[in-house]
Structure 1
Amino acid sequence: MSAQCGKNVRLSRIIKKSTGKSVSVAFDHGLDDGPMLGNIHPRETMEKIIEGGADGVLISPGCARICNDLLCDDNAPSVILRLDWTNTFRAPDELNYEEGRNILISDVESALALGADAVLTFMFIGYEHSEVEAREIAKNAEICRAAARLGIPHIMEPMARGNAKRTAGREMDPKLIALHTRMAAEIGADAIKTDYTGDAVSYAKVIDGCPVPILIAGGPKTSSVKESLDMVKGAIDAGASGILLGRNVVQAKDPAEMIRALRAIVHGGEEVDYVLKHFDI
């Protein structure tokens, strides 16, 4: 019996075989950032995510329990379970630290018990102390081994986010993104969620150097819907396998309509101007 069979089946629920692409939503911000626009009432937002037709949704163990009955819906997205917590993104006026830390809060077995189709963990590089970065690698390697044994995909989220002073302004550096995405693939990631470099040309080089599918992270809410759509279109044109956007979806005027618009670009190959004309976003 091969656990790879289980991985293939589960990953195909997130990255669709028909297009080789995924429109997934990151809905795990409450774990690290607390309540914010778009997650105050998680069940209401989850209903919108389901209505829009998302292929997958990234959630915390707690949210998986809160929304359990909704995730049993015929049209519910596949569950990607967040296994770790970080204080890296906490605002400076909210007990932030110059160098954040991450810790596992769940494991692969628990994710399967919650009905997950995949697990996801951060992998930050750029720490002032090299042993901290080494622990990040060890953590992800441990999860990879467990995921391989149990036949569930492990999606890694590598980012240049260790020490704020050391990485400030360099998070979107194509060379750093190419470095940490390849590291994640070599450790054993089945797919990757990571930053967009800002343009299709440089991102194509990142994609070319990474032998596993890459889904782009959306980052902070963009200043306009067009900016968000341009980012997605650029990534898809560069060869990305889809998106795992959070705030640009759940904080949209209508999250369900935003997901439908993103599907038109990612799965349908539509241009940004077409989407802006035909969707009420």
Structure 2
Amino acid sequence: MSAQCGKAIRLSKIIKKSTQRSVSIAFDHGLDDGPMLGNIKPRETMEKIIEGGADAVLISPGIARICSDLLCVDNAPAIILRLDWTNTFRAKDELNFEEGRNILISDVESALALGADAVLTFMFIGYQDSHVEALEIAKNAEVCRAAARVGIPHIMEPMARGNAQRANGRELDAKLIALHTRMAAEIGADAIKTDYSGDAASYAKVIEGCPVPIMIAGGPKTSSIKESLDMVKGAIDAGASGVVLGRNVVQAKDPVAMIKALRSIVHNNESVDYVIRHFNL
């Protein structure tokens, strides 16, 4: 019996075979950032994610339990389960130390028990302490081996973080994105969620150098809907396999319309101007 068969079946629920693309929604921010606009009432937000037609939703173990009945409906999105926690994204004055850290909070077997179709973990590079970076690699390699044994896809979220990257404004440097996405693929990632470099030309080189599908993260909430959609369109034009957007969807005035607009761009190659007009965004 081949566990690779299970991986292929599960991944096809996230990255659709007809387009080789995905519109996935990140709804795991409460785990690291606490309550915020868009996650105060998780069941209400999950209902909007489902109504919009998301292909998949990234959630924590707790939200998987809280919304389990909603995720049993016929049109429910595939479940990507977050296996780790981080304090990397907190403001420095809230950390009380220089750089954040990550730790596993769940495992592959628990993810299967919760009905997950894939698991996802951070992989940060750029720490001042090289040993911490090495531990990030070891963590992801361990999850990859566990996922391979049972046939569940492991989506990695590699990112260039740490004080040096922040100080030099290099977090979105295409060369660094190309480095850590290729590292993730070589370790064994089945797909990748990561930063967008800011323009299609540089991102096309990232895509070219990575042999597994890349879906872009949304990052901080953009100043406008058009800015968010332009980012998505640029990534798709560069060859990305879709999106895993969070704040720019769940904090939108109309999350349902926003998801439908994303689907039109990602799966139907519609223009940004068209979807803004068509979905009254």
Superposed pair shares fold, TM > 0.5: yes
Distance 1:128 1:82, change over 3 A: same
Partner in structure 2 of residue 198 of structure 1: 198
1:247 and 2:247 correspond? yes
Partner in structure 2 of residue 6 of structure 1: 6
Matched to 1:190, the amino acid is D
**Structure 2: tracts of 5 or more residues without a match:** none
Partner in structure 2 of residue 39 of structure 1: 39
The answer on whether the counterparts of 1:26 and 1:245 sit within 8 Å (CA) in structure 2 is yes
Q: Over residues 20-75 of structure 1, what are the superposed CA-to-partner deviations in whole Å (9 max), with x where a residue is unaligned?
A: 00000000000000000000110000000000000000000000000010010111
Distance in 2, matches of 1:92 and 1:179, equals 26
Matched to 2:261, the amino acid is A
Distance in 1, matches of 2:141 and 2:38, equals 33
- RMSD of aligned alpha carbons: 0.8
Distance 1:274 1:113, change over 3 A: same
Q: Residues 146-225 of structure 1: matches in 2 within 5 Å?
A: 146-161=146-161, 163-168=162-167, 169-225=169-225
Distance in 2, matches of 1:65 and 1:216, equals 26
SS in 2 for 1:124: strand
Partner in structure 2 of residue 233 of structure 1: 233
1:91 and 2:91 correspond? yes
Matched to 2:266, the amino acid is V
Partner in structure 2 of residue 56 of structure 1: 56
Partner in structure 2 of residue 263 of structure 1: 263
Distance in 1, matches of 2:56 and 2:69, equals 16
Matched to 2:256, the amino acid is A
The answer on whether the counterparts of 1:154 and 1:189 sit within 8 Å (CA) in structure 2 is yes
Partner in structure 1 of residue 133 of structure 2: 133
Once the two structures are TM-superposed, the CA of residue 96 in structure 1 deviates from its matched residue by 5.0
Matched to 1:164, the amino acid is N
SS in 2 for 1:211: coil
Distance in 2, matches of 1:68 and 1:97, equals 37
% same residue: 84
Once the two structures are TM-superposed, the CA of residue 93 in structure 1 deviates from its matched residue by 3.6
Partner in structure 1 of residue 72 of structure 2: 72
Once the two structures are TM-superposed, the CA of residue 98 in structure 1 deviates from its matched residue by 1.9
The answer on whether the counterparts of 2:229 and 2:272 sit within 8 Å (CA) in structure 1 is yes
Once the two structures are TM-superposed, the CA of residue 166 in structure 1 deviates from its matched residue by 4.3
The answer on whether the counterparts of 1:88 and 1:97 sit within 8 Å (CA) in structure 2 is no
The answer on whether the counterparts of 2:87 and 2:95 sit within 8 Å (CA) in structure 1 is no
